[in-house]
Structure formats: structure tokens, C-alpha cells
Structure 1
């Protein structure tokens, strides 16, 4: 293999790329559709927070099992089964809304089921990437995958508001159900080398092994802790206050445009990451992560659409540069047979406080004012993003030397192991 070879030359990666891209398209339609479905059913900001919080709570509850199963079973099996089940659930919720049988309880239950299914598949979907390409092109594979997903999320966010306006929240959720089916079909075409697993023990013991791997790396646990605080505050800002503040003071379509601007920031951050490869990618990413405070700050301070769009763009741009360095750091420094479990703890730590934030955002915003609370969110994000700089390994961790990548390029393709479905 020469250095001109890239991840797109590998069939498994191409199908993974298409499947995750379609998934991302639908994942941006669903939150907008559900938010306006709740509001159309007469729900308040607090009730919207509880409905969205049900999804987030199920996401947290199921994620550890998703990590353990992702390191036990073929990861592609986890991806296919979860997406097929999610298509069924989302299709039933869409049917209830289009036939005028929808309710807040049904939205909450459907969201919880899909949150759990997403968590069962999530660690496997992230951990499978190194199985689809040689190590030499892993960074490019990570960047291309994130770039493609973010581009799809731009489209999803951009059309979400239009779909809700044209065919209603139920019709928009039917489109989301169709994307799950397409993703399932793509994942059936992913054929990857089997991962040599560690000694098989009880599921709880395997989860503890994953936790030990996390705490072994100070850069890993410290940034997961940072993400916990970030999602505690930001989850409600985007999931609850964003549709209300922007939707009421500008327009419903403007909220979709804001999410598209954020996804545009993700894409351009990904494009930059294709060419810019800082030696201390995690440290550089942490600096850029400070830009995430711009979106809640813009919503708090202005009713001007362009100011909100700029804040959303900067949020996405900074978060994407961090995320590329974060994924690369995990996949270069964690043993392959532990990846799904480590990713599950990453998701657990990141999102465990999100349901609390979603549930409390409505009452707190009502008590102090929606825009004052958005200012609090911006300040909390800035403090949380600055704290990891105190950890030496965050400042010192370096990506794999270029010489090793070139050696990997010369070594050939993926190691010949037993291929599983």
C-alpha cells in the first residue's frame, strides 16, 4: 500500500460511511420534529424537557450494556439489529402522530426506546472504524467519517423545519424511520476482521475492566468529566430553550437554520482537520472547544438571525476540531478489544447528567428568565472547558509519530483475521 491509498478504497469503510451518514441525516430530523410535536400537543417547556429527557435517560441506562456487548459480539450485528428496531419504533410513533393519536406519554416512551437502542449500537458504531481500514489511514478515516456525517446533519437540520411545516411532525418522523432502514441495509454490507477479545468473564466484570482502562488515562477521565458538565448545561439550552427562544423571537425555520449553521461549522472543522495535523491534537482541540460557549451566548444576547447563526457556526467548528483529536487519541491509545467499553464510558460520563439538565432547564429558565439562564449556560461551558488544562497529560499527549504512519502505509492492508458479519 502506498501513501496515496485512502480509507475509501476499503469496501467495509465505504458502507460504514454511507450507513452512518444516513443515520446522521435522520438524527437531525428527529429532535426538531419531536420538539414541535410536543409544542403542538400543548406541551410546556418543562414537559418538552421531560420528553427529551426520557430519551437521554434511556441512552445513559443502556450505554454500558452497549459497550460490553460491542466487545463480546460482532459489532456489525449490534449496529444492524439496533437500527432495524429503531426503524420500527420511530415508524409507530410517526403513525400515531399522523393519525392524531399522539400524546406526550407516547412521545416520551418512543423516545426512551430509541434512546436505549441508540446506546446499544453507539459504542459498536464508533469502535468498528479501526476494523474497516489499516492503521495507517485511521486518522483520515475518522475525519472523513465525521465530515460526511456532519454534512448529512447540515442537510437534516436544514430540512427538518421544512418537513415539519410541509408534512407535520409525524411525517418528519416517518422520514427518520426510513433512514434507520437504509442504515440497516448498509450495515449488512460491512464485513470486518474479527477482534481478538480478552478473557470472557461476567458482564459486570468486563464493564469494570473498561472502567479501569478509563481511569488509567488521566486525559481520558478528565475530559469525560468536562463533557459531563458541558452536557448538563448545554443539553437543555439546545433541546429545550433553543426551539422556544429562536422559534418565538425569530421563526421556527430559523431554529433549523441555526442547527444547519452549527453543522456547517462541524464540516469546515472536519475539512481543516484533513489537512492540519497538530502533534498535540488533544490540546489544540481543547482550545478550540472554548468556542462552544458562543451558541448559547448568541441566543442570550441577540434576536438577530445572523448573530445566532454565527454563534452556532463557531460552536460546531470548535467542537469538531476537538472531536477529531479526541477520537484519534482514544483509538490510538486504547487496546482494540476494549474500545467499545471505553466508548460506552465516554458516552455514559458525557451524557449521564443530560437528563437532569433537560428536566431542570424549563423550571430554572422560568424562574430566572430564559436568556439569563442561557448566559449561565455559556459561563458554565467556558469554565468546564478550561478546567482540563490543569491536567498534565491533556497538555502533553501526542498523536502517533508520522514515521509510524508511513511504516503502516508500507506494511499493507488490514491484518488477515477471520471475517465476521
Structure 2
């Protein structure tokens, strides 16, 4: 990597932020693997596992908006530190219950809800904080580098999770996740970032939430692409989580599904590496075009007679999604007012994921009615068309990356004002 691509790491606060988020990403990838086997070891069914995971996901969605308001009211580094410390405790409790043999399915669901709420409180602040840790001229490589490191940590985490569960059991694997949260809290405690600049006194939390929505609504590209994300998760969540293991597992063997997910993650990593070097001027135009590649995975599962083509579709999906995500993050960072950034990210999180539990619940019955391959083709068509249709909006096509020149002596957090396309 060139010096420019690694330049954000010269800044102490960015190192602490990306260190904490990378460690958390590693632990967060271990837990789903461990939790799945914990539910099964307690005699739970696939439905029970779905309910536990859905409870966690629902808690995240419900809490994210509240976390966005808090992230624009109180120091964001405090939100990250407190959330990580609390998650360390909740995961430690879960680990003790599992190791000691006291865990039950209802307890797993309750602790999952608590942990989901605690984690979601900090998610908007975590995304918004990048801008406060580097000078304006290093924002683009900082966003790309952070995304690459977190994705790489997740790849490692999924593999480590499987090894830990097999070697020492689900309880001890979740104990490792608790330790990663504690280490992340230490990193976040060391952050020293400039305070947020606000435009006048704060109103009620509900009024703050309304201000955040108005900030979203005045950017056409934000509204359209959040809507596209809602459709993506509504249709694709079930395609991967429900149909993928069945279609690929029955056609090529269960091991093939794990290989396909590995190819998907490899696409994420390669996409992140490309974004370290490639920063097109019209970032949303390019990112959205590549986002349409996410249709390749369900399409290949439905039509491909050979495993290599399925793996290629999975790789294309991960690559396109990661490149889009980096450019999407950069677009938000550059064009949203700093004191509304956490609230905008909270609406992005809720809008993107609120429909996912519905998709997971409906995919099985709908696919059984119309046929698995036929439904995968529908999913591919919806993803492809919804991505490309957003390009009809001038705000998506014409939004340009600012690409400011770094001025000697500029300080982290001193960014230009926002502008609507």
C-alpha cells in the first residue's frame, strides 16, 4: 500500500477508533457461529434459532434511532466506550450461563435482546466518528481503510468462531467475544476528539429525531438508496439465510455452501482493497452500478450447473456491495452536517434492516409456493432493477466526491460544511 492509503493511521485517534471497531468486528463474527450451536446444543430447532436471531435483530432496529439522537447530543467516543463495556458484561454473563450449564432458550433470547440494544446504541456514533479523527483531506482513505480492516476481521472471526466452538464449546467462544468488547472499550476510552459544533440549543429528543429525518429527506440520493437497501434486505436476506444452504447444499454438498460464503467474504476484502486506490469523482454513480452486481449470487444459485460459477457469483456480490458501501459512507460523511451525522446513520440503519426479519420469515413459504429457483430469480431481478433504477435520479448520478486538498496544519474534525446535491 502507498503512504497515502495508510496516512490515516498516522493519527492517534483514528488508530484507536479503527483498532476498537476492528476488534469488535472480530468478536461480532464469532458470536453468530457460537450462538447457533448454543441453541442447537440446548435442543432448539431451526425455528428456535430463527426466533433468537430475530429478537437480536429487532432490538438493534428499535434502538438505532435512539442511539442516533444520543450520538449527536453526547460525546460519541463516550457512546462507544459505554456500549462496548456494557456489551462485554452482557456477553460475559451469557458465556457463564453456557459454560455453567444454566442457559435456556428464553435466557439466550433475553440476553440477545439486551446485547442488541447495547450494540445498536453505539452504531450511529461509530460510523459518524470517523470524520472527527482525521483531517478532511484524509477522509476518503480513512473510510476505505476502516471498511477493509473491519471486513478482514470478520473473515477471520467467522473462521475462528468455528474453530473455538469445535475445540472448547460455544460458551468459551462467546467469552472470547466478551474479551474483544472489553479491549474495544479500552481503545475508545483513549479517544480525544474535538467536541461537536451545534447550531443553537437542543430541543426534545423527538424534535432532534425530526431534525435528523429532515436532513435525510433533503438529500434525494439518501432517501432513494435507503429505500433500495430496504428492498435488498427484504429479498436477499432470506435468499442467503434460508435458500442458499438448501439449494447449494443439495446440489453440491454442505461443504460447498461454506466455500460459497468464503468466496463472498473474499469479494468484500478485494472490494475494500480496490477502494484504497480507486476514488472516482462520481462515486455514487459508480458505486450503484457495481451494487447491481449483488444480483449475481442469487442468479448463479438459481441457474448455475457448476460450483465455480456459484463461487464467482458470490465473489461478485461481495465485491460490488463493498465498493458501494465505501462510496456510500464517504458520500454521507462529506455531505451531511456534522452535528446531524449520527441521526442520519441511525435512519440508514433502520431503513436498511427493518424489513430483513420480514424477508427471513416469508422466504420459506413463498419459495415453497413458487419454487426455490424461481424465487431466487425474482430476488436477482429485484436487486438488479432496484439498483439501476436509482440511477434515474440526478442526485445519485451527479453527486461528486469533493476530494479536498489537505492543508498543512489542518486538524481532525475541521471539515467543510455540508451541501445538498
TM-score, structure 2 normalization: 0.89
Shift of 1:388: 0.8
- Where does residue 228 of structure 1 map in the other structure? 230
Alpha-carbon distance change, 5 to 94 in structure 1, aligned in 2, over 3 angstroms: closer
Q: CA deviation at 1:248?
A: 6.8
Per-residue Cα deviation, 1:396-415 (whole angstroms, up to 9, x for no partner): 11110x4xx22x33353336
Match of 1:105 in 2: 106
3-state SS of paired residue (2:296): helix
Gaps of 5+ in 1: none
Question: Residues 333-359 of structure 1, C-alpha deviation per residue, up to 9 Å, x if partnerless?
Answer: 111111001101111111111222223
By how many angstroms is 1:42 displaced? 4.2
Q: Determine if contact 1:60/1:351 at 8 Å carries over to the other structure.
A: yes
Map of 2:357 onto structure 1: 355
User: 1:25/1:247 Cα in 2 relative to 1: closer, same or farther (>3 Å)?
Assistant: farther
Matched residue of 2:190: which SS? coil
CA contact (8 A) 2:83 2:121 kept: yes
Show the counterpart of 2:165: 164
1:11 and 2:12 matched? yes
Measured after TM superposition, the shift of residue 376 of structure 1 is: 3.4
Matches within 5 A, 1:6-405: 6-198=7-199, 199-242=201-244, 255-301=257-303, 306-368=308-370, 370-400=372-402, 402=403, 405=404
Aligned pair partner of 1:409 in 392, 407, 412: 407
Change (3 A) 1:416 1:209: closer
1:292 deviates by: 1.3
How far apart, in 1, do the equivalents of 2:207 and 2:9 lie? 37
Q: Could you tell me how far 1:242 is from its partner in structure 2?
A: 4.3
Q: 2:114 is paired with a residue of what secondary structure? A: helix
CA positional deviation for 1:142: 0.6
Instruction: Report Cα offsets for 1:251-299 as digits up to 9, x if no partner.
Output: 6665554433322212211111111111101110001111212233344
**Is residue 210–residue 342 contact of structure 1 (8 Å, CA) maintained in 2?**
yes
Q: Following the alignment from structure 1 to structure 2, what is the Cα–Cα distance between the partners of residues 227 and 416?
A: 31
- Distance in 2 separating the partners of 1:303 and 1:173: 38
Q: Deviations over 1:163-214 (max 9, x none)?
A: 3322333332222222111111111111111111232110000000000000
Secondary structure at the aligned position of 1:72 is classed as coil
Q: Identify if the C-alpha distance between structure 1 residues 261 and 353 changes in structure 2 by more than 3 Å, giving closer, same or farther.
A: same
Q: What's the RMSD between the two structures over aligned residues? A: 2.6
What is the alpha-carbon distance in structure 2 between the residues aligned to residue 189 and residue 242 of structure 1?
42
When residues 298 and 156 of structure 1 are mapped into structure 2, their CA distance, relative to the original with a 3 A threshold, is farther
CA distance in 2, matches of 1:162, 1:251: 21
Number of equivalent positions: 412
Deviation at 1:250, TM superposition (A): 5.9
Q: 1:247, CA displacement in angstroms?
A: 6.1
Separation in 2 of the partners of 1:201 and 1:103? Answer: 43
The offset of 1:74, in angstroms, is: 0.4
CA distance in 2, matches of 1:12, 1:87: 22
Structure 2 unaligned spans of 5+: 416-421
Q: Distance in 1 between matches of 2:88 and 2:67?
A: 18
Decide whether the 8 Å contact of 2:88 with 2:181 is kept in 1. Answer: yes
Could you tell me how far apart the structure 1 residues matched to 2:401 and 2:92 are? 43
Q: 1:165 to 1:125 in 2, by over 3 A?
A: same
Q: Is the 8 A contact 2:193 2:413 kept in 1?
A: no
Structure 2 counterpart SS, 1:6 = helix
- SS of the residue aligned with 1:263? helix
